[in-house]
Amino acid sequence: MISSSSELLTLQQALGHQFLSPKLLQQAVTHSSQARELEAQRAGAERAEDNEQLEFLGDAVLSLVTTEELFRRFPQFSEGQLSKLRAHLVSKNHLIHIAERLELGKYLRLGRGEEKSGGRAKTALLVDALEAVLGAVYLDAGLEATRAIILKQIVWPELQHFLTLGTAGKVTDYKSALQERLQAGGRPQPAYALVKESGPEHRKTFTIEARLLTWSNGEVEFTAKAEGSTKKNAEQDAARQVLEYLDSRDSQGEPV
């Protein structure tokens, strides 16, 4: 665990923001399990701070900045297209990659139970911590500093990827793109299967597998696994992974 103010300097460097109040960043990486343990040890002392409220704030700032940037950059898009693109950019499936790149897992302050259950690698905890960090930056330095981090770390790299591929307008319709591609190649459609459901009723996480079948005998050639807040979102991300697999085959000159 890395959580002292001095040890969080590396995270600040990765973010590109030096905190005037390092305690805000320390709170942002403190999970509720750690806070409740501290309260139990203090026996009646004041409430220990965790990152839940910062996550709430960071989520709102992320949505605002992303919405404004998409509105500015894509005046030709319909409301539906903008909504789909924003939904992807603020989704767990996208944010987990940023959290992992920043190595947020090693900075988390977890209770013993979460530590033992592999909390440092859990998608939900990492994404929550990322949103909490954004909330902490907002309180520490205001909207413009937070906007700069969001655009540089979260929005611009992904938009550039979609613009390069020419798919920014249909970013969330990977299932249809995969269906069309397989039909054109005379291959069977993928099989989607729900393999896991976790979390409370109001905040479930669904794990979906998309299985790419061979054209000859219907055996499974490739399996993609994805998580999402809905089955549809998870299916879309799994379909995206299958498309990336097919693209890698094409680049190597292998028959699809």
Catalytic: 219? no
**pLDDT > 90 fraction of the chain, expressed in percent and rounded:** 46
Give residue 153's pLDDT.
96
Give residue 141's pLDDT.
98
What value does the mean pLDDT take over residues 220-245? 86
Catalytic: 68? no
Q: 88-145: per-residue pLDDT in tens?
A: 899 888 899 999 999 999 999 998 888 988 989 999 899 999 999 999 999 999 999 9
Higher pLDDT, 125 or 246: 125
Q: DSSP state, 30?
A: B
Mean confidence (pLDDT) of the chain: 86
Q: Which of 59, 114, 128, 140 is catalytic?
A: 59
The answer on pLDDT for 167 being more than 60 is: no
174-251 CATH choice from 3.40.50.720, 3.40.50.1820, 3.10.180.10, 3.30.160.20 = 3.30.160.20
- Here the tokens at position 191 are 């099989």
Q: Which of 114, 131, 209, 227 is catalytic?
A: 131
Q: Residues 6 or more apart from 48 whose CB is under 8 A from it?
A: 30, 34, 35, 36, 38, 39, 42
What value does the mean pLDDT take over residues 47-72? 94
Give residue 5's pLDDT.
62
Give residue 23's pLDDT.
94
pTM for this prediction = 0.67
Contacts 24+ apart (CB under 8 A), 110-115: 110/1, 110/31, 110/33, 110/34, 111/31, 111/33, 111/34, 111/36, 111/37, 112/33, 112/37, 113/33, 114/31, 114/33, 114/34, 115/1
Residue ranges of the domains in the chain?
9-167, 174-251
CATH code linked to domain 9-167: 1.10.1520.10
